[in-house]
Amino acid sequence: MLIKIGKRLFKNLIDKKNIFSFFSGLSLVFAYAPFSQWWLALIIPALWFNVIDQSSVKNATKQGFFFGLGWFCSGISWVHVSIDQFGGLPLAISLLLMLFLCIYLALYPTIACYLSAQFTHNKKFNLWLLPAFWLISEYLRSVVLTGFPWLSLGYSQIDGPLAAYAPVIGEVGITCLILIINVLIFKLIFKAKQQIPLVNILQSTSFLVVILVTFSLQNISWVTPTKKSIKTALVQANITQDMKWAPEQEWPTMLKFLDLTRVNYDADLIIWPESAVPSWEPAVQDYLQAVNRSANLNNSAIITGILNYDNKTNEYFNALIVLGNKNTNDAEGDYFYNHTNRYYKNHLLPIGEYVPFGDLLRPLAPLFNLPMSSFSRGPYVQPNLVANGLHILPLICFEIAFPRQLSANFTSTTDLLLTVSNDAWFGDSHGPHQHLEIARMRALEFGRPLLRSTNNGITAVVDHQGKIIKTIPQFEEAVLKAEINLVSGTTPYNQFGNILNWFFPLTILLINLLINKSTRIKTL
């Protein structure tokens, strides 16, 4: 079976159109961090359209698959670092697993291309249908099997001019806009002679409108500075993954975090990364109480990642807790075990934090028995953390890629966004750079400063415009200190979500369906 699939895949790969589609998708990786050549996302799809425009349903489906396969083979290659180093599998098997993951993800652009050809009167691929069906397929990618919305096209624009749209239509809307721009470029450059002059004029006008709106949005500020600032300190202890959960390293790790913190108590808010305390919360109460008293004596607050075991429900949680909160007006200001000023991760990472069909998969390989892979979900909506009077919206690691979850937890009192992570799983790859890129987009969409605290980098402070204020590079032990200016107000995207994103592509889809119906009636 696998041999037949491999032969068929190889046969298709040597087709010139398929090769072009594959390498078009492959080259998109350079549009994202750490390369950040955002302009490539505005050119590569337009070039790729030459091999898919007006294709049959079968050919459009095939080109969509190979484009998606190349896109994800290069874009999420960093996942293989964790599988190879910590999965306990032979190289050939780990590479095969990566291939299956990329094939699965490639199904979503495949679906978009299939539908863009299927829903036409002549069963030929229609570029103007692609933005609508692409949005639908990307939505499915963000929810099916808990979702994996990584590498969405809009993230590539965080340092480009289209970033100005983020507070209005979000990253999802920018993705749609990228596709529309590519369609316009393709039509005006490669198809102008085949179109009537009126169509060319309308498309040129549309392109100019996009440019004018883009520049107009650059000068709009959606939120208002409060003239209040806070001092923050983010601790990056740089603990290697192979040492993090070693029993003999538990106390040295906890003491390292405390030592790095002691000289930074002048900060209002101190952040430790995901699972910074490498033990279960009930087992280290003496340590936590000592840290809590120390922070209180210095009028500071510490937010740290920790694991909790609830002996009443027998559930495990990936958590964030607040220490040293004595002077806040919150009813449960000071720390005590199981106080409510905490956050439990909701969106768990498949395999890493929970194993689907665990009874079947766990016996097969060490990959399915990674440390801490049996967590329970926290509630989808939870109160913001309160630390030194600040209201902080937390997300742990992978959750920052889900704007709907952030929106559901955002309140009028939210001062800061916080994301903590342990990217040591992915080594010196482009994964952590893409992770920071995603976090920056959230700050821009929701108009709030963001703190990103990681175990080994990239730790960063980001302002409400998605601009990096300061960072600590990967694999360095350091403390990032920065002063953050707070803001108030809300962005249109925070108010309306993705409603605006769907209007234009779905309007085009509706018009096309009406044209198809009219054409069929005339044919009859």
- CA 415 from chain centre, in angstroms, equals 21
pLDDT for res 25: 97
pLDDT at 386: 94
User: In whole angstroms, what is the distance from residue 425 CA to residue 16 CA?
Assistant: 37
Q: Which of 281, 397, 399, 445 is catalytic?
A: 397
Give residue 87's pLDDT.
63
Q: CA separation (Å) from 468 to 49, 167, 325, 433?
A: 35, 17, 28, 12
Q: Which helix (H) or strand (E) holds 391?
A: strand 390-396
**pLDDT reported for residue 423:** 80
Predicted confidence band of residue 356 (pLDDT cuts 50, 70, 90): low
Report residue 352's pLDDT band, with 50, 70 and 90 as the boundaries.
low
In this prediction, residue 4 carries a pLDDT of: 65
Rounded CA separation 158/497 (Å): 18
Average pLDDT over residues 150-173: 96
Residue 433 pLDDT > 80 = yes
Nearest to 439 by CA among 427, 456, 454, 424: 454
Catalytic residue among 345, 353, 437, 445: 345
Q: Is pLDDT at 165 greater than 70 in this prediction?
A: yes
Mean pLDDT of 79-97: 78
Dihedral angle, C-alpha 439, 444, 449, 451, nearest 10 °:
10
Rounded to an integer, the average pLDDT of 351-365 is 53
What is the C-alpha separation between 36 and 447, in angstroms, rounded? 22
Active site residue 274: yes
- Cβ neighbors of 251 (< 8 A, separation 6 or more) are none
* Residue 324 dihedral angles phi and psi, to the nearest 5°: 65, 55
Per-residue confidence (pLDDT) for residue 86, from 0 to 100: 67
SS3 of residue 77 by DSSP: coil
Whether 181 has a pLDDT exceeding 70, the answer reads yes
User: Would you say the C-alpha torsion 96, 98, 99, 100 has a positive or negative sign?
Assistant: positive
Average pLDDT (283-289) is: 95
89-92's contacts with Cβ under 8 Å and 24+ in sequence apart are: 89/365, 89/366, 89/367
Are the C-beta atoms of 378 and 346 separated by less than 8 Å?
yes
Judge whether 345 counts as a catalytic residue. Answer: yes
Residue with tokens 């027998």: 314
CA dihedral (208, 210, 211, 216) positive or negative = positive
Q: Is the pLDDT of residue 354 over 70?
A: no
Q: Report d(CA 441, CA 38) in Å as an integer.
A: 14
Q: What is the pLDDT of residue 69?
A: 97
> Is a pLDDT exceeding 50 seen at residue 522?
no
Q: Is 123 a catalytic residue?
A: no
pLDDT tens per residue across span 293-332: 999 999 999 999 999 988 788 888 999 999 997 655 554 5
Using the predicted structure, report yes or no on whether residue 364 has a pLDDT greater than 50: no
Name the CATH topology of 224-490. Nitrilase/N-carbamoyl-D-aminoacid amidohydrolase (3.60.110)
* SS3 state at 351: coil
Q: How far apart are CA 58 and CA 146, in angstroms?
A: 29
Where residue 411 falls among pLDDT bands split at 50, 70, 90? very high
Selected residue with higher pLDDT from 367 and 170: 170
Strand, coil or helix: 294? helix
Q: What is the pLDDT of residue 369?
A: 52
DSSP string, 408-440: HH--TT--EEEEEE-GGGG-SSSHHHHHHHHHH
Per-residue DSSP letter, 268 = S
pTM of the entire structure? 0.91
Determine which one of 274, 281, 399, 445 is catalytic.
274
Q: Where in the chain is the domain with CATH 3.60.110.10?
A: 224-490
> Picking from 104-113, 131-140, 333-342, which range would have the lowest pLDDT averaged per residue?
333-342
| 381 class by beta-carbon count within 10 Å (0-12 exposed, 13-18 middle, 19+ buried) | exposed
- pLDDT tens, residue by residue, 14-67: 688 999 999 999 999 999 999 999 999 999 999 999 999 988 999 999 999 999
| Mean pLDDT, the chain, integer | 88
pLDDT tens digits, one per residue of 208-239: 999 999 999 998 999 999 989 999 999 999 98
- Kindly list the distances between the CA atom of residue 130 and the CA atoms of 67, 113, 156, 190, in Å, as whole numbers in the listed order: 14, 7, 19, 18
> Can the peptide bond before residue 34 be classed as cis, meaning omega within 30 degrees of 0?
yes
For residue range 236-259, list pLDDT tens digits in order.
Answer: 999 887 788 788 999 999 999 999
- Give the pLDDT band of residue 367 (cuts 50, 70, 90): very low
